[in-house]
Amino acid sequence: MKWFKQTVFYEIYIKSFADGNGDGIGDFPGLTERLDYLAELGIGGIWLTPFYPSMQVDNGYDVSDYCAVDPLYGTLADFKVFLAEAKKREIRVVIDMVLNHTAINHRWFTEHPDYYIWKERPNNWTSFFGGSAFQFDEKREQYYYHSFAKEQADLNWANPAVKEEIKQVLKFWLALGVDGFRFDVINNLTLDLAFPDNPVDELGEVLHKFDKDQPGIDGVMAELAAFCRDLRPDVFLVGEISSDELPEIARYSRPELLDVTFNFNFGSIETFTPEKLFQELVAMEKALPDGQMPTLFFGSHDMGRSFSRLAGQNLPLAELLAFIILTARGVPFIYNGEEAGMTDLTFADVSEMADIQGIMAYEQAVGKGETKQEALFAANQKTRDKARGPMIFADGKAFSATGKAWLKQNQEPEEKVHAIFAYYQELLAFRKAAAYVTEPYTSLQLKEACLTYQRGNYYFVANFSERWQMTAPPNGRLVFGQEEQGGIAPLSGAIYLMEEENENCK
Ligand code: NOJ
């Protein structure tokens, strides 16, 4: 069986995780020092956000050199030490690959302009960060296409030389020993090269129709996947699909394409209800091709922190959300700090923000004539900085020994941090020892805000309701959680092992 099916992943936003040299920015030496913390927590894999040299316009998602380490984070030698130390602790390492675009200071942009997409005139396509997706280049007197910031020029995947260059990049990292890749906005690689205008909705919003999921995308993805698997048969490939349409997300999860894809309908919902959760679990089961697993996550560096956004800062609810991602069928991704109950940051001034998305929201609001206060509100809504604050460790160690931090930090009550960490740790240890992880559901139900499912011999109860629920199944022995007289408390989870009836003892 492929190892990823049993692995709990942990996303590390490198800039905010652990600062080894005291400059206020996370780095590899800091991260390596915290591997024991991760081993103690009990995760099995890391997804590391981009650490390559970058213009830092989009915090590393604007790559200037795919085969090096940004000096902000250390050296390639530091990366190798980190990788070796992770392996010693049986922690796999999956790195982020941003193949849709490079930074405009990547040498390719000047040396190989044909690796990019040039137009005499822009059409109506908009960048995913807002505004036109075309930028005029004075030297060339043409526009280049950028589906994100203007410093992130899209690569031209219709040019076979681009594919060959990228294969060398993948080979470089696989040869160093990484265990897999998280492919950034991977369904955006192909475009409708006739560049028809995108449709516009009733609100005047330009839709993304011809700038993603275009013919040829399956072929490109399959070629990259096969290339990686030839070099490393057990490589793990997880795709970020820029879409909130489940069928679109699910169709890229196929043996010849990606192992799993992120479903944002599950992970980045704005508000939580047990009904929504249940519907999405059911929908994922239906939408995914046979044998493919969903991903399960409630946070990432691109959305508000689940402790604030979904749990309303309610500790038992946050624990119950952890219970879901660690016991439902799927590949879980914990976002760093979730296990410490970290909360959203809010900013008193736009100058405190670093995320381009928040800053652009501010500028656009001001441009529309909104007051500074209104613009700040819009920016606080949009900024992904809210989830990118320096890490809080349950072992009491600080993000940076000097107390410096590149972004504002929240203080979190120690008691909460310890309680939620202990819950994750206990459940992760239970999950490792139990035999349900690859079992399908034999039942999946929601009744009175109480979600139950059976997988193999294990029966799970997640009580989202405000009252005690009598939940113990006949022949069930409680193996995780607490119950009293066959019932469990509001906002708590329990696991029962179904005892096989022993013929001789009947
Ligand atoms: C998705 C990444 O998660 C996000 O942080 C980034 O801004 C965009 N892709 C563009 O690379």
**pLDDT tens, per residue, the chain with 506 residues:** 899 999 999 999 999 999 999 999 999 999 999 999 999 999 999 999 999 999 999 999 999 999 999 999 999 999 999 999 999 999 999 999 999 999 999 999 999 999 999 999 999 999 999 899 999 999 999 999 999 999 999 999 999 999 999 999 999 999 999 999 999 999 999 999 999 999 999 999 999 999 999 999 999 999 999 999 999 999 999 999 999 899 999 999 999 999 999 999 888 899 999 999 999 999 999 999 999 999 999 999 999 999 999 999 999 999 999 999 999 999 999 999 999 999 999 999 999 999 999 999 999 999 999 999 999 999 999 999 999 999 999 999 999 999 999 999 999 999 999 999 999 999 999 999 999 999 999 999 999 999 999 999 999 999 999 999 988 898 999 999 999 887 999 999 999 999 875 544 44
Locate tokens 């989870």: which residue? 493
Is the CB of 240 inside a 6 Å radius of any atom of ligand 1? yes
Strands 9-12 and 45-48: parallel
Instruction: List residues bridging with 48 in a β-sheet.
Output: 12, 95
Is the CB of 302 inside a 6 Å radius of any atom of ligand 1? yes
Is the CB of 184 inside a 6 Å radius of any atom of ligand 1? yes
Q: Is 466 a catalytic residue?
A: no
Which atom of ligand 1 is nearest the CA belonging to 300? 3
Please tell me the residue having the least CA distance from ligand 1 atom 6: 61
* CA distances in angstroms from 128 to 71, 363, 436, listed in the order given: 28, 15, 39
Is the CB of 58 inside a 6 Å radius of any atom of ligand 1? yes
Rounded-to-integer distance, Cα 390 and Cα 74, Å = 18
pLDDT at position 144 is 98
Rounded-to-integer distance, Cα 258 and Cα 323, Å = 26
Between the CA of 11 and the centroid of ligand 1 the distance, in Å, is 14
Between the CA of 236 and the centroid of ligand 1 the distance, in Å, is 20
Is the CB of 352 inside a 6 Å radius of any atom of ligand 1? no
Please tell me the residue having the least CA distance from ligand 1 atom 11: 61
Between the CA of 489 and the centroid of ligand 1 the distance, in Å, is 39
Helix then strand count (H, E) for the chain reads: 14, 20
Between the CA of 382 and the centroid of ligand 1 the distance, in Å, is 14
Is the CB of 109 inside a 6 Å radius of any atom of ligand 1? no
Residue from 61, 66, 189, 208 to probe ligand 1 pocket by mutation (most atoms less than 8 Å from CB): 61
pLDDT at position 501 is 59
Catalytic position from the list 184, 213, 344, 483: 184
Q: Is 426 a catalytic residue?
A: no
CATH 1.10.10 assigned to domain 441-498? The reply is no
Element at 432 (helix H, strand E):
helix 414-433
Is the CB of 66 inside a 6 Å radius of any atom of ligand 1? no
pLDDT at position 351 is 97
Structure letter (DSSP) for residue 198:
P
Is the CB of 98 inside a 6 Å radius of any atom of ligand 1? yes
Beta strand ranges found along 302-377 (DSSP E): 331-335
Between the CA of 249 and the centroid of ligand 1 the distance, in Å, is 16
Locate tokens 């479903």: which residue? 263
Is the CB of 47 inside a 6 Å radius of any atom of ligand 1? no
CB 93 within 8 A of CB 86: yes
CB 148 within 8 A of CB 128: yes
Locate tokens 């005892």: which residue? 499
Q: Do 7-347+383-433 and 441-498 show the same overall fold?
A: no
The domain spans of the chain are 7-347+383-433, 348-382, 441-498
CATH of domain 7-347+383-433: 3.20.20.80
Catalytic position from the list 19, 58, 240, 319: 240
Rounded-to-integer distance, Cα 308 and Cα 463, Å = 20
Amino acid at 145: Y
Is the CB of 338 inside a 6 Å radius of any atom of ligand 1? no
Amino acid at 4: F
Which atom of ligand 1 is nearest the CA belonging to 62? 11
Between the CA of 49 and the centroid of ligand 1 the distance, in Å, is 10
Between the CA of 291 and the centroid of ligand 1 the distance, in Å, is 28
